[in-house]
Every structure is written in C-alpha cells, then in structure tokens.
Amino acid sequence: MIIQTILFLVFAGLAVAGAVSLILQRHPIHCALSLIVVMVSLAGLYLLLGAEFVAAVQIIVYAGAIMVLFVFVIMLLNAGEEERTNLSRLARAAGVPLALALTAVLGVIITKAVRVGAAKPLLPTATRNLALLLFKDYVFPFELTSFLILVAILGAVVLAQRER
C-alpha cells in the first residue's frame, strides 16, 4: 500500500510540475517537452489504476506520435520564444483566481460523484476484456473513428500542401 502511495505521489507530482512548466515556459519546445512529461506520468498513473493497455496506448500514440507531430511543427515553423504580452492588468488579476475557482468547483463536483463502493478487482486479462468491449459493444464507434482518421489525414494533407 505504501509503495502505491509513494508512486502515486511521484507520478502526480511529475504531472503537476509538467503542467505548471507548460504554462510558465516561454519557448514552445520547452512547453512540448513538459507536455510529454505530463503524458508519461499519466501513463504511469494509468498503470497504477490497472489500465495497462491504455497506459501503453497513451505512450505509443499520444506521447510517441501526436507529440512528435507537435515537435515537428515547432521545428519546421521555427517557432521562437513568446513575446511579452500586453494583457490588461485587470484580466491577469481576475484570471488567476477564476481559474483556481474553476479547478476547485470541478474537483468538488467530480469527487462527490464517486459512489461509495468497493473497487473492482484488477483483472489479469484486462486487455482481453477491453478488446471484447471494443469489438462487440462499441464496434460502431470504432469503425466511425477509423473513418474519422481517414478524413483527418485527407484534411491535413490538403491543408498543408505547398502552394502551387
């Protein structure tokens, strides 16, 4: 049990540190690296919660493909450091407490939503059950997402073409 708490604290701390670094860094490449740290620590949290296949998919797809796309775009567009913004003082003074308030409200609401009850036991064949669900109950959304990816590929290729 204590190992679980320590690991949770480590991963949660890394995730929050990465998220704060995402906001505070000025160069987009540093923001991208912080986001990768967040994603990898979230994958560790998924492993702690027993979702092993989702953890692996998170690293392979999210941290290993989507973020590579981000890093490529940053490198190709030669994005430099952010300039100093001329945001109004009122917005900055009111924005921070409001963001905190939003976080607090969200936290309270979703923590109250957890019904009191025992957690289901960690299934040793979690991948098999996930696959059964995905290909039996949710097969229609699954096929729709493949169509969605096709449309997205077409869109990205057409949009990012070199100008004739």
Partner 1 sequence: MPLTSECLILSALLFGLGVAGFIFKRNLITIFMAVELMLNAVNLAFVAFSRVWGMDGQVFVFFVIVVAAAEAAVGLAIIILIARNRQSLNVERVDFLKL
Partner 2 sequence: MNTLVAGFPLLAVTVVKVVVLLFVVLTALAYLTWFERKVVAHIQTRWGPYRVGPHGLLQPLADGLKFLFKEDPAPAGAERFVYYLAPFLAMTLALTTFAVIPFGPQDMRIFGQRTPLGITDLNIGLLILFAITSLGVYGVALAGWSSNSKYPLLGGLRSSAQMFSYELALTLSVVGVLLMAGSFRLREIIEAQQGRLWGVLPRWNIIASPFPQVLGFLCYFVAAVAETNRAPFDLPEAESELVAGFHTEYASFKFAMFFMGEYANMITVSCLAAIMFFGGWISPFPPTQAWAWTAFLPAALLAALGLYLFFDGLRYETLLGRTVLPLLGAALGALAAFLALHPGANAFIQGPFWFLLKVLLFLFFYVWARGTLPRLRYDQLMAIGWKLLLPLSLANVLLTSLLLAWKQK
**Residue position matching structure tokens 């708490």:** 5
CB nearer to partner 1: pick between 120 and 164: 120
Restricting to residues 10-49, name those near partner 1 by CB under 8 A: 12, 15-16, 19-20, 22-23, 28, 31-32, 35, 38-39, 42, 45-46, 48-49
How many residues in the shown chain lie near partner 1 by CB under 8 A?
Answer: 80
39/63 Cα distance (integer angstroms): 6
Minimum distance from CB of 40 to partner 1 (Å)? 11
Site for partner 1 (CB under 8 A): which residue of 10, 82, 124, 143? Answer: 82
User: Binding to partner 1 by residue 97, rule CB under 8 A?
Assistant: no
When computed from its CA atoms, the radius of gyration of the chain, rounded to whole angstroms, is 20
Q: The tokens of 11 are what?
A: 């991963």
Tell me how far apart the alpha carbons of residues 164 and 146 are, in angstroms, rounded to a whole number: 30
Answer yes or no whether residue 149 interacts with partner 1 by CB under 8 A.
Answer: yes
**Nearer of residues 77 and 90 to partner 1, judged by Cβ:** 77
Residues that bind partner 2 (CB under 8 A): 27, 29-30, 33, 36, 40, 43, 52-53, 55-57, 59-60, 63-65, 68, 71-72, 75-76, 124, 126-127
Q: How far is CA 79 from CA 26, 58, 67, 73, 84, in A?
A: 11, 26, 15, 9, 15
At closest approach, how far in Å is the CB of 52 from partner 2? 5
Count CB atoms within 10 A of the CB of residue 57.
15
Tell me how far apart the alpha carbons of residues 112 and 102 are, in angstroms, rounded to a whole number.
16
Pick one of partner 2, partner 1, none as the site partner of residue 102 (Cβ within 5 to 8 A by kind): partner 1
